[in-house]
Structure 1
Amino acid sequence: MVDADDGAGPKGPLDGISGSLGSQYTLLSMVVILFLSFALYNSVELIIMVLLSFKRFRGLYFWSLLLSVVLGVVPYSVGFLLKFFTDTNRWVSVTILSLGWWVMVTGQAFVLYSRLHLVLRDQHRLRHVVYMIFTSVLIFHLPTTILTYGSNIRSGTSSRFVTGYNIMEKIQLTGFSVQEAILSGLYLYETARLLRLANNPRSHRRIQYQLIGINVLIIFMDLVLLGFEYASEYAVQITLKAAVYSLKLKLEFAVLGKLVDFIRTNRDHSSAMPMGSSAQRYAGQGAGLPSTRANDRHFYGESTATVMRPERTNSSQEQLNLPSGIIVAKTEFSTTIDKRETSLRMDDSD
């Protein structure tokens, strides 16, 4: 271990979060640059996709997705490029990467949380999910950030901070991986439950397999990160994390698209009454639907549904950008399920 007084910092050898990789382009340096470049490329692509896909820039899903990229993945990647390969002041690079890490990780959690509203209506369970996310911030983000700054100070105590950081890094990475597994598990469980009750089970089964595959891939990427971390390959893990999170955010965008396809497909097979004028603003372009699909009736189906204005006290549905139109399908979908369950109970009573 190299003490900070002996050169740790911008020009010192890499030891956990302290030091740098220098200007020599070794295999490790090239791998790190590759991962960070891949993360930045995915970020630019995702920003363009999001800005072109939403009619209205509002809602929990929209902002959590966009900020996870703009204030998360991008500064996280840039911060490590500055720290590992330049002579930038260590406090500047550490501040940039720490800010990016906070927004990237917790923003990803809120993206997962926001799409739960499409399949989970239990407000009690949703509140517990929020409590879990904020508890993770206090338990994992704060101590890790303190140890990050402590590892980069020029004093005789920096080696102790580095040791503490290397331990805390494993703990926080494990904790956040468990949190994402819980959120993905809840989503898969609720989606599978709805699919079992829906019409046209063959086509829905294909969508279910696609959703399961995407979520399993996300969990697998977390396990890969854990493997590198517990193998003490810090530089690889910390930069691969940027690439993984950028890819996971793109997959989350795909997951929501698959879920909308599923809800739209079920709406095409359900019976409904035409919407009145008071309900029109809950569907179509005026409701903040993606502009690339707002005019495509094959994506959202025909504009027929009986929609009730959501209560102001329940903001869970209004926290999303897409749901204004999706709620039409979801309301109709839920009504169809309730009718089927009622008919089944009546048949059993006979």
Structure 2
Amino acid sequence: MQNSLSALPEGLIGGYKGASEAVEILVVCFSALALYNAIELVAVIFLTFNRYSGLYFWTMLLSNVFGVVPHAVGYVFEFFGIGPIWVGVTLSTIGFYFMVPGQSIVLYSRLHLLVQNRKFLRGVLYLIIFDSVVLLVPTTVLTYSTIYLRTVPVIRGYNVMERLQVACFCAQEMFLSSLYIIETAKLLRLRPARDAYRNRIMYELIAINVVIILMDVALLVMQYVGLYILQTTLKAAVYSVKLKLECAVLRKLVLLVNQRASDSSSSDWDNYPDFVNPHRITGDITRAPKFSKSHSQSPWGVMSTVNLG
């Protein structure tokens, strides 16, 4: 357990010294779970999407293949001291770049289904980009400086920045997930007795987003109580589960849109792009809708499945 800001992070340099068998087993199990989920998710993504394009498709795929996989493998190398230090650190750093900010982009890319304020959506995107640049660049510099310089100010800077990075990305994902909960709750209040099946879908959406928030909180708590090794190795497994939950969220959102369309005129079905198959779990529904004066103002007419690719 690491509590001092002046202490080297356990396992970052030369492997984890004095690791118990239980810790080693947990590290291997978490990493194996992350890799298994990543392999399974690749198949699910390609079977789910009708067209292999769009922001949602690419962020899901890249967050998984170039995020979860190298992050998990990199921390295994670091923990067990396999190969040169820079190999494991570089792999885990690349994985973090794709995995953590990528998760925020995944959440953003389907946000237009419930929120259709263009300025607000643009502001959310700018927030994600700003946080990514401000948090990733200093942390990367301090990581390599800690490995090769190992001075007390650098180590303290790394430990502070690492905690700040985890907290900020956690807050960002909790903010995005909370938006879904709030907007879904608004739809429930608008027509509470409209359709029991549709309401059940909305409650399931809320439950899934609550689970995502709880996983973020768990990682944050582990970071601040000093469980560096478990937090870093568990992170890949947690994000792989989040990406799998995305498929469930997407399916619920598509079902919700289909329910809305079934209550509307048949012409509403023409709004679906040609790559959306309403009878399958279809994921490429991520283009922000075009706004016009003729756009429906009905509370149940605000969802769109136009591609954001």
CA distance in 2, matches of 1:339, 1:241: 37
Q: 2: distance between equivalents of 1:229 and 1:323?
A: 33
Aligned partner of 1:34 in structure 2 is: 29
TM-score by length of 2: 0.84
Q: Alpha-carbon deviation of 1:336?
A: 8.1
Distance 1:86 1:23, change over 3 A: farther
User: Does the alignment pair 1:18 with 2:13?
Assistant: yes
State the aligned residue count.
291
Identify which range, 159-168 or 212-221, moves more after superposition: 159-168
Spell out the pairing of 1:123-272 with structure 2 (5 A cutoff): 123-153=118-148, 155=149, 157=151, 159-197=152-190, 200-272=194-266
Higher relative contact order (CA 8 A, sep 6+): 2
- Residues 82 and 93, structure 1, Cα contact 8 Å, conserved in 2: yes
2:204 & 2:110 partners in 1: Cα distance? 16
- 1:264 and 1:63 mapped to 2: Cα distance? 24
User: How far does residue 195 in structure 1 lie from its aligned partner after superposition?
Assistant: 4.0
Matching residue of 1:321: 284
Name the SS for the 1:152 alignment partner: helix
For residues 121-168 of structure 1, give each alpha carbon's deviation from its aligned partner in whole angstroms, at most 9, with x where no partner exists: 111001110111011112211111111111211x452x4433322222
Tell me, yes or no, if structure 1 residue 288 matches structure 2 residue 271: no
Q: Measure how far apart 1:269 and its partner are.
A: 2.2
1:196, distance to aligned residue in structure 2 (A):
3.7
- The structure with the larger Rg is 1
d(CA) in 2 for partners of 1:235, 1:189: 34
Q: What TM-score, normalized to structure 1? A: 0.75
Aligned counterparts of 2:125 and 2:268: Cα–Cα separation in 1: 36
Query: Do the aligned residues in 2 keep the contact of 1:16 with 1:162 (CA within 8 Å)?
Result: no
Match of 1:108 among 91, 99, 103: 103
What is the rounded CA distance, in whole Å, between the counterparts of 1:149 and 1:120 in structure 2? 40
Structure-2 change in CA distance of 1:258 and 1:224 (3 Å): same
SS at match of 1:172: helix
- Tell whether the 8 Å contact from 1:225 to 1:237 is kept in structure 2 after alignment: yes
1:81 aligns with 2:76: yes
The amino acid of 1:322's aligned partner reads I
What is the deviation of 1:216? 0.6
Once the two structures are aligned, what percentage of the paired residues are identical? 42
| More displaced 10-residue stretch of structure 1: 108-117 or 195-204 | 195-204
Structure 2: give runs of 5+ residues left out of the alignment: 2-6, 302-309
Task: Give the whole-Å Cα distance in 1 for the aligned partners of 2:66 and 2:133.
Answer: 20
Deviation of 1:187 after TM superposition, in Å, equals: 2.0
Paired residue type of 2:219: L
1:215-240 Cα offsets, whole Å, 9 max, x none, are: 11111011111111111010001111
Query: Pairwise mapping of residues 40-55 of structure 1 onto structure 2 (< 5 A)?
Result: 40-55=35-50
Cα RMSD of the aligned pairs, angstroms, is: 3.0
C-alpha distance in 2 between matches for 1:16 and 1:78: 14
